[in-house]
Amino acid sequence: MDKEISKLNFIINNSKNIVFLGGAGVSTESGIPDFRGKDGLYNQKYDYSPEYMLSIDCFLNDPELFYKFYFDKMIYDDVKPNIIHYKLADLEKRGILSSVITQNIDGLHQMAGSKNVLELHGNVYSFHCMKCNKKYNLQNINRSDIPKCSCGGILKPDIVLYGEMMDENVSRKAIYEVSKADTLIVGGTSLLVNTASSLLNYFNGDNLVIINLDKTPFDFRANIVIHEKLGNVLKKIK
């Protein structure tokens, strides 16, 4: 692995336009479980699949179940960025990383100081009313019940649920960023969600790097593949 890491170190320090594409594995080291990893939510027992409980179908037909799962499992108070988030923010400050594209909805990249963050699936901090479109913040909604607007309408979190389309603007920007990158580092994602993995098709640069604990279906395409904790890898990058 040390050989791979020194190769990665060389690539990072000789790139001008790195893009990082990440997923839930970026935040497990902050204590937020992923979906498909060993301790992920898919390996815990629920009456319904997490995919259903985070779907637009469930939101519209059984908002009580939706919000129970959402408030229990998708919102983590008092979480802090970890070394991965800070290292990426630092590479951006050094002018060699142009953007972080994330499937995460936890806002930790911005908290660590990253500026150019594209959230493919939105984030958990904002909501809007299904009836009148009024905006709400996570802090001012009642989590003990289905959150409602002052007009009586149900609030919907501003995240992309299963069965919904991604925001076109975000999607277009992500494609643009990937297509002009010289190095694409993909980390902490199983690459099983199509919105993220399809971005790999737009990469024309020299170095595709995949860092993930488990194997991914795209490992064969990468110049460097490291199956290790992202934090352990990034802390060795100088």
What whole-number distance in Å separates Cα of residue 91 and Cα of residue 209? Answer: 16
**CA 73 to each of CA 34, 40, 95, 196, 214: distance values in angstroms, whole numbers, following the listed order:** 10, 11, 35, 22, 22
Pick the stretch among 12-20, 164-172, 188-196, 202-210 that binds ligand NAD (CB under 6 A). 188-196
Only segment of 127-135, 145-153, 173-181, 212-220 that touches ligand NAD (CB under 6 A): 212-220
Strand pairing category for 135-137 and 183-187: unpaired
Assess 180 for contact with ligand NAD (CB under 6 A).
Answer: no
Reply yes or no on whether 85 is catalytic: no
Pairing of strands 155-159, 97-102: unpaired
Out of ligand NAD, Zn ion, none, which partner does residue 129 contact, by CB within 5 to 8 A per kind? Zn ion
CB 114, min distance to ligand NAD, A: 14
Stretch near ligand NAD under the rule CB under 6 A, chosen from 3-11, 26-34, 56-64, 200-208: 26-34
205 binds Zn ion (CB under 5 A): no
Q: Tell me how far, at minimum, the Cβ of 154 lies from ligand NAD, in Å.
A: 22
Q: How many residues bind Zn ion (CB under 5 A)?
A: 7
> Cα(21)–Cα(190) distance, rounded to whole angstroms?
11
Minimum CB separation of residue 237 from ligand NAD in Å reads: 14
Q: Does 153 bind Zn ion (CB under 5 A)?
A: yes
Buried b (16+ CB within 10 A) or exposed e, 120-158: bbbbbbebbbbeeeeebebeeeeeeeebbbeeeebbbbb
**Residues in contact with 85: Cβ distance below 8 Å, sequence separation at least 6, in sequence order:** 26, 30, 108, 109, 111, 112, 114
**Could you give the CA distance from residue 97 to residue 116 in angstroms, rounded to a whole number?**
9
Is residue 110 a contact residue for ligand NAD (CB under 6 A)?
A: no
Residues of this chain that interact with ligand NAD (CB under 6 A) are 23-25, 27-29, 32, 34-37, 40, 103-106, 121, 188-190, 192-193, 212-214, 229-231
Residues of this chain that interact with Zn ion (CB under 5 A) are 129, 131-132, 134, 149, 151, 153
Active site residues: 121
